[in-house]
């Protein structure tokens, strides 16, 4: 079971992913306290809080398997509905030049409890999309990692503008 969310955890969650990230954290707490019934309950609550430009996921910290992936994730990563529901499918779309940065972010979440990484993915039609992945850990009452929550955000336009300004 989960402990109450502390002020420090709340600040870290908001810094990592904003107010919507805090809402995701609260949903995880409710789910694990059995106050949100199963995957359908998560999906129902997430539809109410999820912004259009981000896609959320919740991963078991022990197995690193997804517990929840929002429907927006498939669109963002260029998958057909339900096709990209596992981390390895998404990982295969990461641009080869950015793989090490993504691996490092995975290690950071395990070691530090939070991570942020910006990287490119290659869509099926060959286009590239820039993604910012903000991740944070949700601990159990003993302070051990229980889940990793994260938000993928499309930052392609911002990356293009930044590149244009640099030229």
Name the residue with tokens 């409890």.
113
Is there a domain that residue 147 lies in? Answer: yes
Grouping H, G, I as helix, E, B as strand and the rest as coil, residue 89 is: helix
Beta-ladder partners of 131: 119, 154
State the CATH number of the domain containing residue 64.
3.30.450.20
Number of domains, the chain: 1
Is there a domain that residue 2 lies in? Answer: no
Is there a domain that residue 66 lies in? Answer: yes
Tell me whether residue 152 is exposed, middle or buried, using C-beta atoms within 10 angstroms of its C-beta: 0 to 12, 13 to 18, 19 or more: buried
Contact 108, 145 (CB under 8 A): no
Among 23-27, 33-37, 127-131, 151-155, which stretch is predicted with the lowest mean pLDDT?
33-37
By residue range, what is the domain housing residue 139?
7-166
Average pLDDT on 71-75 reads: 85
Q: Is the pLDDT of residue 128 over 90?
A: yes
Q: Is the pTM of this model over 0.75?
A: no
Q: Please, how many CA atoms are within 13 Å of residue 10, restricted to the half-sphere of its CB?
A: 6
Q: Is the pLDDT of residue 93 over 80?
A: yes
Q: Is the pLDDT of residue 98 over 90?
A: yes
Q: What's the mean pLDDT when you consider all of the chain?
A: 76
Contact 130, 159 (CB under 8 A): yes
């Amino acid at each position: 079971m989960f402990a109450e969310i502390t002020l420090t955890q709340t600040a870290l969650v908001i810094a990592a992913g904003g107010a919507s990230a805090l809402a995701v954290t609260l949903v995880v707490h409710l789910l694990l306290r059995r106050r949100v019934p199963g995957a359908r309950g998560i999906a129902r609550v997430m539809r109410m809080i999820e912004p259009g430009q981000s896609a959320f996921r919740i991963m078991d910290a022990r197995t690193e398997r997804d517990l929840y992936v929002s429907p927006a994730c498939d669109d963002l990563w260029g998958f057909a509905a339900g096709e990209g529901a596992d981390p390895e499918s998404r990982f295969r779309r990461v641009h080869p030049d950015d793989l090490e940065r993504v691996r490092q972010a995975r290690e950071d979440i395990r070691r530090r409890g939070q991570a942020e990484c910006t990287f490119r993915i290659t869509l099926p039609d060959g286009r590239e999309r820039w993604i910012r992945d903000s991740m944070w850990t949700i601990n159990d009452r003993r302070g051990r990692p229980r889940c990793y929550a994260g938000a993928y955000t499309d930052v392609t336009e911002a990356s293009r503008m930044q590149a244009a300004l640099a030229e």
